[in-house]
Amino acid sequence: MNLVTNAADIIFNLIKPLNPQQDTEIVDLLAANGRILAKPVHSPLDFPHWDNSAMDGYAVRYQDVQHSSAEQPVNLEIIAEIPAGYQPKFTLQPGQAARIFTGAVIPHGADTVVMQERTRQEDNQVFILTTPQPGEFVRRKASYYQAGTQLLPAGIKLTAAEIAVLAASQCPQVRVYRRPRVAIFSTGDELVTPEQALQPGQIVDSNKYALAALVSQIGAEPILLGIVKDNPEALEQTITQAVNNADIVISSGGVSVGDYDYVKKILASLGATIHIRSVEMRPGKPLTVATFPQSPIYFGLPGNPAAVLVTFWRFVQPVIRKLSGLSQGWEPEFVKVRSHDELRSDGKRETYIWGSLHLIDGRYEFHKAGGSHSSGNLINLAQTNALALIPVGKTLISPGEDVLVLQLLSF
Ligand SMILES: Nc1nc2c(c(=O)[nH]1)N[C@H]1C(S)=C(S)[C@@H](COP(=O)(O)OP(=O)(O)OC[C@H]3O[C@@H](n4cnc5c(N)ncnc54)[C@H](O)[C@@H]3O)O[C@H]1N2
Ligand code: MOO
Ligand SMILES: [Mg+2]
């Protein structure tokens, strides 16, 4: 049995990210939200594109106004007005000012803007009531970004700010990694779909829905292969179909030691290399991880619904994010917070307890979900957003004590 951290090392090292040459596609910027940039972007534009004003006011020559004050204001002749969107065609001479507005181009000769609240205008004269800083309120050409240098590196996730940057640099389309394809199926003779009437002993296949939501939430494409009976031939057929059509395969159920738990046997018979057979964690002990030559990775998640969610968050989510081309930040991140409740474990396996983080007086606090923490109980996982971790060897975390928590970020 592997410790959780050893299992994580083994699993995360199995993953090679998608190929930046072959595994990419071009998408419109409006469809790029959440996608991973596959190629660094360089822009031929400087930012700002030209010297421009940060304020509504007057463009002046600093030399003219360097001794100006409310008591002894310098007055300048207003020779022009420059709204945003126009290129001034004159050069400001000594003793002159130009009326200017935010975003408008600074005329030749001017080097400083005085905001209008610090001036007084009379006809075509402006009185400067303070001494500005040299260059004040001028947004200098190329001071934010220099044309030709790297604007955005490959391997980052595109969200609002990155998409705005790409739009501003006139990239209406962008090359991103394709979405990883993730095949999902559930195993078990007892499983039915939510539409089917339940017969005695049956249970709805909720794992499919949990996994489909998790996979799409992190930007991958779920391929839903349905319910497979606890039958070696059926399993063999579905596993073969899955590994030939996906980057990652996720099954749930059938990985423990029962007579109908066939997944490990079938994986071995199909020539897979099994890297993980069980992990010292609760829930999730019989987690099984294998690789096939034609597919990066197979996750046999334990069937219990809570085990599915916990093992997905701890192992599968980072794998999908690493595979998807994210160069940084794909690993699970634990934060230390105060526990509001008593948390208990038998101390034998690393234990994950679901609950939620609450902001109390500016500090996060972990609140354990009420109800049963059995790995068969799915109900109280609803509306949780964090998993608290009790390490091997520790049996109790008291209220007020620090605890490590995995935040269940949606993306
Ligand atoms: N003798 C032992 N028995 C068990 C052990 C053990 O070490 N020795 N481990 C237990 C642990 S821990 C877990 S976790 C489960 C894992 O079992 P399997 O992965 O073999 O899963 P199944 O037996 O097929 O199902 C377990 C449980 O989950 C329900 N289930 C299965 N699939 C779904 C689904 N798609 N949607 C909703 N619920 C599902 C299933 O009905 C069972 O109740 O093994 C323990 N046993
Ligand atoms: O690992 Mo199992 O999920 O504890 O019940
Ligand atoms: Mg079983």
Show which of 323, 346, 367 is a domain's final residue: 323
Q: Are residues 36 and 172 in the same domain?
A: yes
Average pLDDT (108-121) is: 98
170 lies in the same domain as 29: yes
> For a pocket test of ligand 1, which of 202, 251, 256 has the largest count of ligand atoms closer than 8 A to its C-beta?
256
In sequence order, which residues have a C-beta less than 8 Å from that of residue 201 and are 6 or more positions away? Answer: 190
Q: Total domain count for the chain?
A: 4
- CA of 137 from ligand 2 middle (Å) equals 62
For residue 372, report the distance from its CA to the centre of ligand 1, in Å.
17
Tell me, yes or no, whether 217 and 306 share the same domain: yes
The pLDDT assigned to 294 comes to 75
Residues 35-56: pLDDT tens digits? 999 999 999 999 999 999 999 9
CA nearest ligand 2 atom 3, residue: 283
| Ligand whose nearest atom lies closest to the CA of 288 | 1
Give the binding-site residues of ligand 1, using a 6 Å CB cut-off.
186, 188, 190-191, 203, 205-207, 252-258, 261, 283, 285-286, 302-305, 307, 375-376
Both tokens of 396, joined, read 């109790």
Cα–Cα distance, 378 to 206 (Å, whole number):
9
Sequence-distant (6+) residues with CB within 8 A of 158 are 32, 33, 34, 35, 36, 37, 166, 174, 176
Judge if 236 and 317 occupy the same domain.
Answer: yes
* Same domain? 270 vs 173: no
Nearest CA to ligand 2 atom 2: 283
Query: Whose CA is closest to atom 16 on ligand 1?
Result: 302
* pLDDT attached to residue 410: 57
Strand, helix or coil for residue 328: coil
The answer to whether 266 and 232 have CB atoms below 8 angstroms apart is: yes
In this structure, the answer to whether residues 8 and 107 fall within a common structural domain is: no
Dump pLDDT digits (tens) for 59-80. Answer: 999 999 999 999 999 999 999 9
Q: How many Å lie between the centroid of ligand 3 and the Cα of residue 207?
A: 14
Residues 167-184 pLDDT 10s? 999 999 999 999 999 999
- Domain limits for position 35: 24-47+143-177
- Give 258 Cα–ligand 3 centroid separation in angstroms: 5
In this predicted structure, the answer to whether residue 283 has a pLDDT above a threshold of 90 is yes
Report the pLDDT averaged over residues 345-356: 97
What's the mean pLDDT in 356-369?
A: 96
Average pLDDT over residues 325-351: 97
| Other Cβ atoms closer than 10 A to 356 | 17
| pLDDT tens, residue by residue, 118-170 | 999 999 999 999 999 999 999 999 999 999 999 999 999 999 999 999 999 99
Last residue of a domain, one of 279, 299, 323: 323
SS3 (DSSP) at 10: helix
CATH number of residue 362's parent domain:
2.40.340.10
**Same domain for 124 and 151:** no
CATH number, domain of 98, equals 2.170.190.11
CA distances from 387 to 194, 258, 347, 374 (A): 27, 28, 17, 14
User: 295 pLDDT exceeds 90?
Assistant: no
Residue 168 and residue 156 share a domain: yes
- Give the end of a domain, one of 91, 122, 139: 139
Q: Does 329 fall in a domain?
A: no
Number of residues in the chain: 411
318 with 197, same domain? yes
Q: Which of 304, 308, 349, 378 to mutate to test the pocket of ligand 1 (most atoms within 8 A of CB)?
A: 304
Mean pLDDT, all residues of the chain? 97
pLDDT score, position 369: 98
Average pLDDT over residues 175-198: 98
pLDDT level of residue 411 (50, 70, 90 thresholds): very low
Q: What is the CATH number of the domain that holds 238?
A: 3.40.980.10
Please indicate, yes or no, if residue 328 is contained in any of the structural domains.
Answer: no
Q: Are residues 212 and 305 in the same domain?
A: yes
- Confidence class for position 101, pLDDT limits 50, 70, 90: very high
- The Å distance, Cα 295 to ligand 2 centre, comes to 27
SS3 410: coil
Could you tell me if 236 and 296 lie in one domain?
Answer: yes
Phi, psi of 238 (to 5 degrees): -70, -40
Residues in CB range of 99: below 8 A, 6 or more apart: 58, 78, 80, 81, 82, 126
Identify whether residues 293 and 342 lie together within a single domain.
Answer: no
CA dist 224 to 32, 250, 295, Å?
A: 24, 10, 17
